[in-house]
């Protein structure tokens, strides 16, 4: 069995201004702080002699490859994404960047923000616009019903609030 794995499908090319700022900050940190620090550590480890048994050298080089890979990814991704920084005119409809509050029949509430695939974090309530939940929410209006599959069962939620941040 070979190591080839087909490339993952490209995510959507939209990002919120906050997500773009976080990506630029990560890129700046990696390039200006992390990479020079690791480069110096590898250089010092190389001066010690036999590199084949020098753990600092081996793991430093590995970390440099990881940093360079992430820097390449962030640079390319920031060139191709579109920052969505304006609020839609129809604020009662769910679009990219919206905070959506849902409630089921028992009164249990959920709140999600629909963001780009590079910035999702379910623990913070940020879901990718490519996710099944976000796809079911996009285009909905206040008081619309939304059926979501949670675990093995389908639960009906109602859209109770839609808001956008300036």
| Cα 114 to Cα 136: distance, rounded to the nearest angstrom | 11
| Cα 146 to Cα 47: distance, rounded to the nearest angstrom | 63
pLDDT at site 1: 53
Residue 64 lies in a domain: yes
pLDDT in tens, 112-161: 999 999 999 999 999 999 999 999 999 999 999 999 887 888 999 999 99
Pair 25, 65 in one domain: yes
Pair 77, 28 in one domain: yes
Number of structural domains (the chain) is 2
Domain that includes residue 67, residue range? 14-83
Pair 21, 77 in one domain: yes
Q: What is the CATH number of the domain that holds 33?
A: 1.10.287.180
pLDDT in tens, 41-85: 999 888 887 777 788 898 999 999 999 999 999 999 999 999 999
């Amino acid at each position: 069995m070979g190591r080839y794995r087909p490339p993952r499908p490209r995510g959507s090319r939209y990002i919120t201004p906050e997500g773009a700022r976080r990506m630029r900050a990560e890129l700046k940190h990696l390039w200006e702080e992390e990479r020079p620090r690791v480069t110096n550590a590898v250089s010092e480890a190389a001066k010690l002699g036999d590199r084949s048994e020098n753990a600092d050298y081996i793991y430093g080089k590995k970390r440099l490859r990881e940093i360079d890979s992430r820097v390449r990814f962030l640079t390319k991704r920031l060139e191709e994404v579109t920052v969505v920084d304006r609020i839609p005119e129809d604020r009662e409809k769910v679009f990219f960047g919206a905070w959506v509050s849902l409630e089921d029949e028992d009164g249990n509430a959920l709140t999600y923000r629909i963001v780009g695939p590079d910035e999702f974090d379910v623990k913070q309530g940020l879901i990718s616009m490519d996710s099944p939940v976000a796809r079911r929410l996009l285009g909905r209006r206040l008081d619309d019903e939304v059926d979501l599959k949670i675990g093995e069962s389908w639960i009906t939620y109602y859209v109770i609030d839609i808001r956008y941040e300036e």
